[in-house]
Amino acid sequence: MIVRIVAGAPKAFTNFDEGYVIAVDKGVKHCLEQNIKIDLAIGDFDSYDESKVRVPMIKLNPVKDETDIFVAIQEAIKLSPEKIFIYGGTNGRFDHYLANINLLDLYDIELVDEMNRIFVKSESFSIDSKEYISFFRFKGNPVITLEGFKYPLTNYLLLDKDNLCVSNETVGKGYVNIEQGSVLVVISKKD
């Protein structure tokens, strides 16, 4: 099963073919506007009128230590999904955007917006994409090797605030090897 978390700031996304949908706070409004079936609504509903919610709901106290999306992720993990996608977690407030980035290694989670896919990897993987691909240090001291990329690397120590791995591209199928840490992967559409 796939879990799709719809947050309060998506600009555009299409209807989902599959998955369990958790709408977070104002994400309820976006789902209703786009006729997306909601399985669970979560939030303190400080930005959407909870009286309009007609699905199972977890009402949060607005005075809390975690974000609404963090609670939604915890509920999603209980379902043991294959993957969790978060839509609209990058288009609103920048503090919430950074908070969502910090949550990516809790599970196999991917942030999705109209321009980007953002996720964390700590193991080898292959990718075949015509988009820009960037890598940033996330945790530990990741050593990264890129094969099949326009700008290949071999056993490169990716340091904090290192921008060497921004806007790379695959030439065919790309192979990424990561050791001793994890990297933030950003796949961005070309204009």
pLDDT for res 113: 87
Q: Which two tokens stand for residue 182?
A: 């994890």
Query: How does DSSP classify residue 108?
Result: T
Q: What are phi and psi of 23, to 5 degrees?
A: -95, 130
84 or 57: which leads in pLDDT: 84
Length of the chain: 191
Residue 65 pLDDT > 80: yes
Out of 52-61, 111-120, 128-137, 140-149, least confident range: 52-61
CA 3 to chain centre: 12
DSSP lists the bridge partners of residue 139 as: 182
**Which runs of consecutive H residues, i.e. helices, occur in 116-159?**
none
Per-residue pLDDT band for 13 (boundaries 50, 70, 90) equals low
**pTM summary value:** 0.90
CB 5 within 8 A of CB 22: yes
Residue entry with tokens 């409004």: 29
CB atoms within 10 A of CB 20: 19
What are the angstrom distances between the C-alpha of 89 and each of 26, 39, 97, 106, 150? 11, 19, 6, 15, 30
Out of 5-9, 72-76, 128-132, 136-140, least confident range: 5-9
